[in-house]
Amino acid sequence: MKRILALIAIVAFTFALPSCKGKSDADLKTAAEAALQSNPDLTTVMVDVKDAVATISGEVKDPATQSAAESAVKSVEGIKSVENLTSPAPPPLPVAPVTISADDSLTTAVTDAIKDHPTVSASVAGGIVTLTGEISKDDLKVLMQKVQATKPKKVDSKGLTVK
Amino acid sequence: MALQEKYQALVDAANAAGVSNLAVREQDGVLYIDGAAPSGAVKDQLWDIYNQIDPNYASGDLILNVNANAEIGSQVKVITQDSNLNIRKGPGTDQPIVGKAAKDEVITLVSKANDLWWSVRTNDGEEGYAYAQYLEPIA
């Protein structure tokens, strides 16, 4: 009887062995996801596991983070290898600096801009356009659109009466 | 940063309306918003929001330079308030007038001499420079 039990134990052990040694792909995927989620930089990484080979993809902030994602998944017990398909985020576009017209070209541009508004006068100093005179509320928008398109530093319209 | 908050609704509207190359910077107490609007209507909408936030554009703390983006060779509409649009020999109001285009007339944008003056051609074949702020792309 003891021998039979021992035999059963050996057989059971033999069958149990592979499932103990190799976790299922789904289990590995869950473990890999947990490893990625523990690092806030890696939460955008997606992982798929097939035959214990993990494939990671998605956009991360930089190349170092790509490597970190790969290491995190590789460290999961049971993952044989990692195919790294992540990509670094493109660098942010540089913000164009503010362009301010020089006073002489600004003066010319402002003269053109107020030409159709004979009740308005303008002066230019240090990039600041100062508007004076009076204008109807309807014309104000058109005037301001034209004046602000001349790339001034500032438009001072406190002396402009809106009727 | 305070100015960005003041005009946040304007920036949000510009983003929502698909303004391209949108740049928002604050410098020496003035906020500068530049970009290219997909249409004249979007530009007008932004100016209406500007007027709501800052009635009569009186604070002098924003330079809004978002203009309707017109392609070279495309048709543009004359949007003067009521008068004809002068077409001039060169880019500037000091240049002699070589032709006129009526309000709402559709003319061809030949090239952009600069941001303010565009080279145009009327359907009658008159060619010269017109003030860009009085032209808008046809949607």
Dist. CA B128–CA B121, nearest whole Å: 7
Interface residue of B10, B25, B32, B44 to substitute, partner A, most A CBs within 10 Å: B32
Q: Which residue of B has its CA nearest to A95?
A: B23
Measured CA distances, B32 to A78, A125, B11, B24, B58 (Å): 56, 19, 11, 6, 15
pLDDT of residue B56: 96
Query: Taking the model in full, what pTM does it have?
Result: 0.69
User: In this predicted structure, what is the pLDDT of residue A7?
Assistant: 66
Structural domain contains residue A73? yes
Asked if the Cβ–Cβ distance from A149 to B65 is below 8 Å, we say: yes
B75-137: CATH topology: SH3 type barrels. (2.30.30)
Please identify, among A55, A88, A121, the residue that sits at the C-terminal boundary of a domain. A88
Give the model's confidence band at B20: pLDDT under 50 very low, under 70 low, under 90 confident, else very high.
very high
Q: B93 CA to chain A: closest CA distance, Å?
A: 6
A163 and chain B in contact, CB less than 8 A: no
> Is the confidence at residue A102, as pLDDT, over 80?
yes
Q: Is the pLDDT reported for residue B125 higher than 80? A: yes
% of chain A with per-residue pLDDT over 90: 79
CA–CA dist B138, A40 (Å, integer):
47
Task: Please state the CATH superfamily assignment of the domain spanning residues B2-68 in this structure.
Answer: Beta Polymerase, domain 2 (3.30.460.10)
Q: From the candidates B100, B133, B135, which should be mutated to test the interface with A, based on the most A CB atoms within 10 A?
A: B133
Residue range(s) defining the domain that contains residue A139: 103-162
Residue B92 is given by DSSP the state S
Domain boundary at A88, A117, A138, which? A88
Integer Cα distance of B57 and B61 in angstroms: 9
Domain count, chain A: 2
Q: What percent of chain B has pLDDT over 70?
A: 99
Q: Is residue A3 part of a domain?
A: no
8 A C-beta contact, residue B135 and residue B79: yes
Same domain, A79 and A117: no
Mean pLDDT for A4-33 is: 72
In a domain, A10, yes or no: no
Report if residue A6 sits inside a domain: no
- A120 neighbors A114 (Cβ within 8 angstroms): yes
B93 → chain A, closest CA residue: A112
| pLDDT at A89 (0 to 100) | 86
Query: What ipTM was predicted for this assembly?
Result: 0.91
Per mean pLDDT, which range of A38-52, A79-93, A146-160, B94-108 is the poorest? A79-93
Asked if residue A86 has pLDDT above 90, the reply is yes
Contact criterion met (CB < 8 Å) for A95 and B25: yes
Which of A60, A88, A116 is the last residue before a domain boundary?
Answer: A88
The CATH number of whichever domain residue A31 belongs to comes to 3.30.1340.30
> Which residues, 6 or more positions from A45, have their beta carbon under 8 angstroms from its beta carbon?
A36, A56, A57, A58, A60, A69, A86
pLDDT at A101: 93
Please report, for the domain that includes residue A154, its CATH number: 3.30.70.1770
Q: Would the CB atoms of A154 and B93 count as touching at under 8 Å?
A: no
Extract the tokens encoding A1: 């009887």
Same-domain pairing of A34 and A67: yes
| pLDDT tens per residue across span A113-136 | 999 999 999 999 999 999 999 999
Interface check for A40 against chain B (CB to CB < 8 A): the answer is no
A71 plus A116 within the same structural domain: no
Q: What gap in Å lies between CA B2 and CA A155, rounded to an integer?
A: 19
Residues A27 and A84 in one domain: yes
Structural domain boundaries in chain B:
2-68, 75-137
Contact B86, B97 (CB under 8 A): yes
The pLDDT value recorded for residue B82 is 85
B34-45: pLDDT as tens digits: 999 999 999 999
Residue A65 in any domain: the answer is: yes
- Checking if the pLDDT of A97 tops 90, the result is no
